[in-house]
Amino acid sequence: MKISFIAENDFANVLTEYSYCLNKHSKDIKAKSICVRPHPFNYDIQHDYDLHFCSDSQKQEAKQFLEESDVIIFGEEGHPLEPTYRALREFNNLLGLDLINSGKKLCIWHCGTLYRQNYQFYNNHPLRDKIYKHLYGMDLYRLSSKEKNDIPLHAYQYINFNKSLLLDNFKTKLKLNPKLIYHIPSNPSIKGTDAINKAMVNLPSNFHFSTITDIPHPKVIEYKTKSLFYIDQFNNLGMYGVAAIEAILNSNIVFCTLHNTHEAILKLTGELVLPFIDLEKNPNQINSIVSEIINLPDSTLAEMYEAMIEWMDEYYSPNYVVEYFKNI
């Protein structure tokens, strides 16, 4: 089976990392990520093709792979139900392909604002039945039609991690003084940074909280390797994302709001469990929730983190990803 992942620059690099995982861990699936332009955060795992920067021969390779693909998964900005979306138009112009009438199994990854603000339009679109599967970010699944072709999709980052090493790193950071708590928002206005900063006061002297902005992605990872606790976001969307996954996989206990994700996680895993500490809905609760957790005994924190990486190993392992896309 061949799968093409198509996007403008691939929001959070999720589809590209799924593609990488499938190629590395499946004998039956070949995948390519085909984008219009490179990702602005310069992730370690790169798109296979960035059409604006490809040679003519590379564009021909991308076109051939698309023509041979069994499944095409569109990132939201390449949405085939909306002809004004520039990514889809650019794909058609650059490669000369009519993707929506290609006869392929077409899937859409609804990942953010475009669907959140226009979900009724997409749910009732007259071409909706041409789409084989609709894949949703955690907080977006609640807005879907809940039909058979509506299924949630994890925000994903590929790390073939070593559980014992992550736990050892966590236990080492438990011994540090001060213990570091970081909040590193990609977009402070939607991550609730003001509320977080106002809440994170009067912490014990052996803890240090910092908000850091406007740094390149490799530097973000460097900070996460040093911190013990990470605050991803506080907002009314309630969707954990790649930043939270990165933090867990760099030996952090992670705080974020989760109130709109539980229906999706129950559909996806069959259990109402997520490996994060929920900041809930009231900004006045942030300090008390964080303070309660960071003041737990080290042995309890180590047990909490071990349970988090066990969850990650089950639902973010390469084997899980391969089986998920085989089912699609």
User: Could you tell me if 30 and 171 lie in one domain?
Assistant: no
User: Could you tell me if 81 and 131 lie in one domain?
Assistant: yes
pLDDT tens digits for the chain (328 residues)? 999 999 888 878 999 999 999 999 999 999 999 998 888 888 889 999 999 899 999 999 999 999 999 999 988 655 556 654 556 677 777 788 887 788 889 898 988 878 888 899 888 887 787 889 999 988 899 999 999 999 999 888 888 889 999 999 999 999 999 999 999 998 899 899 999 999 999 999 999 999 999 998 889 999 999 999 999 999 987 788 889 999 999 999 999 999 889 899 999 999 888 999 999 999 999 999 999 999 999 999 999 999 999 999 999 999 999 999 998 8
3-state SS assignment for residue 328: coil
| CATH code for the domain in which residue 78 is found | 3.40.50
User: Could you tell me if 146 and 119 lie in one domain?
Assistant: yes
User: Could you tell me if 103 and 140 lie in one domain?
Assistant: yes
Q: What is the pLDDT of residues 90-114, one digit of tens each?
A: 777 778 888 778 888 989 898 887 8
pLDDT for the residue numbered 101: 80
User: Could you tell me if 133 and 168 lie in one domain?
Assistant: no
User: Could you tell me if 167 and 146 lie in one domain?
Assistant: no
pLDDT for the residue numbered 298: 97
Q: How many domains does the chain have?
A: 2
User: Could you tell me if 122 and 178 lie in one domain?
Assistant: no
Cα separation, 192 vs 264, in Å, equals 22
Would residue 291 count as lying in a domain?
A: yes
Helical ranges in the chain per DSSP H: 14-25, 56-68, 86-95, 113-123, 163-174, 188-191, 193-199, 217-226, 242-248, 262-269, 286-294, 298-315, 318-327
Q: Provide the whole-model pTM.
A: 0.86
Handedness of CA 152, 89, 44, 112 (dihedral sign): negative
pLDDT for the residue numbered 84: 44
User: Could you tell me if 14 and 144 lie in one domain?
Assistant: yes
Would residue 168 count as lying in a domain?
A: yes
User: Could you tell me if 188 and 128 lie in one domain?
Assistant: no
Cα separation, 45 vs 48, in Å, equals 9
| CATH code for the domain in which residue 281 is found | 3.40.50.2000
Would residue 326 count as lying in a domain?
A: no
Which structural domain, as residue segments, surrounds residue 132? Answer: 2-153
DSSP letters for 175-240: T-SSEEEEE--SSHHHHTHHHHHHHS-S--TTEEEEE--S--HHHHHHHHHH-SEEEEE-SSS---
Q: Please, are residues 306 and 253 in contact by the beta-carbon 8 Å criterion?
A: no
pLDDT for the residue numbered 265: 92
